[in-house]
Amino acid sequence: VQSTAIAALIVDGKLPKPALAYMTDCGWESEAAWEYVYGETIPRLRAVGVDLQIIKSFDYTDTCRLVDDSGNVAIPAYQARDGQVVKFRTHCNAGWKVNVARRWLREQGVKRCENWIGISRDEARRAHSSPLLWCQNRYPLIELGMSREACLFYLGAAHWPMPPRTSCIICPQRDNESWLMMREKQPRDWARAVAAEELIQQVRPDVFLHSSLVPLSKVVFSGTIKHKRSQREEGVAKI
């Protein structure tokens, strides 16, 4: 939503045209996200002379792996530790996206730049300054005082279709409604997410994509969690 709002602001001339525009593809975007990017974002930006480039993360890093040889998991997945459900630290965003983008920018000959990032006012805590002098972060939506709601309103008013969620289909930072939606409406994405979890569990059987610590394919998305632990032992979680 936020990145699309930036694109719409550029198309409308409310933000200046950037010298370069990119989106990283770490291989886990949803089919709907690509349909939107290729069907809406790229053509609309191209119409005003901005060429949105898709950077394949695998071309710029060999660390686009869910689990490394030592069993370290890249994504914020879940594990039981000392009777508690804990979430791993996120390494994927830096490894699969941020560092990839910086390498790509260098490859384009960029010596110094402002890197615009689609974070809205309501998410301002996620905004931070870059440690790199040559590549400073800038947050146009925060500067414009735009919340996510305001982005949605702007997109609607500018006649852009509502963009789908663009986080990875395997991202464990997803609520139940979103998992359920994927399972019901995007079966190919769902199958990939289930397969990715199985791949992780070949190396780390103790790691799960869902916070109930139940394999994704067995999570029952109905009701509320009451007895997480016993449900886990049964292999079923009521969510």
Under the binding rule (CB under 6 A), the answer on residue 173 touching ligand SF4 is yes
Using the minimum distance from each CB to ligand SF4, give the nearer residue, 104 or 154: 104
Which one among 96, 139, 160, 190 touches ligand SF4, defined by CB under 6 A? 96
Instruction: Choose the stretch contacting ligand SF4; rule: CB under 6 A; options: 39-47, 109-117, 128-136, 163-171.
Output: 163-171
Q: What is the DSSP letter of 121?
A: G
Query: DSSP E strands: which ranges in the chain?
Result: 21-25, 52-56, 78-81, 84-87, 113-116, 135-138
Under the binding rule (CB under 6 A), the answer on residue 76 touching ligand SF4 is yes
Tokens of 138: 């800038």
Under the binding rule (CB under 6 A), the answer on residue 90 touching ligand SF4 is yes
Least Å distance, CB 44 to ligand SF4, is: 24
Least Å distance, CB 211 to ligand SF4, is: 14
Tokens of 161: 């279709």
Using the minimum distance from each CB to ligand SF4, give the nearer residue, 9 or 200: 200
Using the minimum distance from each CB to ligand SF4, give the nearer residue, 89 or 229: 89
Using the minimum distance from each CB to ligand SF4, give the nearer residue, 147 or 173: 173
Which one among 171, 207, 214, 239 touches ligand SF4, defined by CB under 6 A? 171
Which one among 72, 167, 176, 201 touches ligand SF4, defined by CB under 6 A? 167
Tokens of 184: 């019901």
DSSP β-bridge partners for residue 22? 53
Tokens of 124: 């301002």
Task: Please give the C-alpha separations between residue 232 and each of 176, 207, 220, 235, 238, in angstroms, as whole numbers.
Answer: 16, 13, 11, 5, 10
CA–CA gap between residue 5 and residue 147 (Å, rounded): 10
Q: Would you say 87 and 77 are in contact if contact means Cβ atoms under 8 Å apart?
A: yes
> Among 28, 61, 11, which Cα is nearest to 209's?
28
CA–CA gap between residue 165 and residue 148 (Å, rounded): 12
Instruction: Choose the stretch contacting ligand SF4; rule: CB under 6 A; options: 2-10, 125-133, 155-163, 164-172.
Output: 164-172
Under the binding rule (CB under 6 A), the answer on residue 61 touching ligand SF4 is no
Least Å distance, CB 145 to ligand SF4, is: 25
Integer distance in angstroms from the first to the last C-alpha of the chain?
A: 27
Count of residues touching ligand SF4 (by CB under 6 A): 12
Q: Which residues bind ligand SF4 (CB under 6 A)?
A: 75-76, 90, 92-93, 96-97, 167-168, 170-171, 173
